[in-house]
């Protein structure tokens, strides 16, 4: 049984243990998770998918991501903001995504809010909450990785204040991890940047 330390993957390289349970995880872990993501549409996609993941396994979302992208017009804010009640019903009937009414409604509402922001505002707001990497301890095991940090709580409050939904502190922290605002790859992990 693992103590939460980095473990050898299929190629023998050490990785965060969560990344080894499925082939899709290895690719996501090595190529995406913890890498900086910029751009309002790209960040809207990540924010939406993190909200859909709430209460579920990330592998469920990862495996359905292509269908999510098709269903939500590539997560282009301007397009999703124009979705109608018919689009909402189409989404709620789509077995290829998570058909949670509250999450679908939040995604559509968030797109409408974000459509009124100036280009780059979402990117600027999210990245303004990135903690100083020098002030963060490097995690050695999974137990060293927090679920929430003060900056994710502040980001959650800032997003909610601007009218976004389904953006609690834990979701905000998962977004920070996924989009490279923090590097929570374990110290011995091959994908750790620093």
User: Which residue in 50, 127, 151, 173 is the catalytic one?
Assistant: 50
Q: Which of 18, 24, 28, 32 is catalytic?
A: 28
Q: Is the dihedral of CA 160, 39, 55, 181 positive or negative?
A: negative
- Describe the chain by its helix, strand, coil percentages, rounded to 5: 55, 5, 40
Q: Which of 58, 127, 151, 173 is catalytic?
A: 58
Q: Would residue 28 show up in a list of annotated catalytic residues for this protein?
A: yes
Going by C-alpha positions, the residue among 82, 107, 115, 126 that lies closest to residue 166 is 107
Is 58 designated active site?
A: yes
25 assigned to active site: no
- Between CA 59 and CA 163 the distance in angstroms is 29
Catalytic residues: 28, 50, 58
């Amino acid at each position: 049984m693992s103590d939460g330390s980095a473990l050898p993957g299929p190629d023998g390289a050490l990785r965060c243990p969560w990344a080894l349970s499925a082939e899709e995880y290895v690719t996501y872990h090595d190529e995406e998770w913890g890498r900086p993501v910029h751009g309002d549409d790209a960040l809207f996609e990540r924010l939406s998918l993190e909200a859909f993941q709430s209460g579920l396994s990330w592998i469920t979302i990862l495996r359905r991501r292509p269908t999510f992208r098709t269903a939500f017009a590539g997560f282009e804010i301007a397009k999703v903001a124009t979705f109608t009640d018919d689009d909402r019903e189409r989404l709620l009937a789509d077995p290829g995504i998570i058909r949670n009414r509250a999450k679908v409604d939040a995604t559509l509402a968030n797109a409408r809010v974000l459509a009124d922001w100036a280009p780059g505002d979402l990117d600027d707001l999210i990245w303004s909450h990135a903690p100083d990497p020098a002030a963060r301890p490097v995690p050695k095991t999974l137990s060293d990785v927090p679920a929430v940090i003060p900056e994710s709580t502040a980001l959650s409050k800032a997003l909610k204040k601007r009218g976004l939904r389904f953006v609690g502190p834990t979701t905000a922290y998962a977004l920070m991890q996924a989009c490279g605002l923090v590097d929570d790859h374990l110290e011995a992990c091959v994908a750790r940047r620093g």
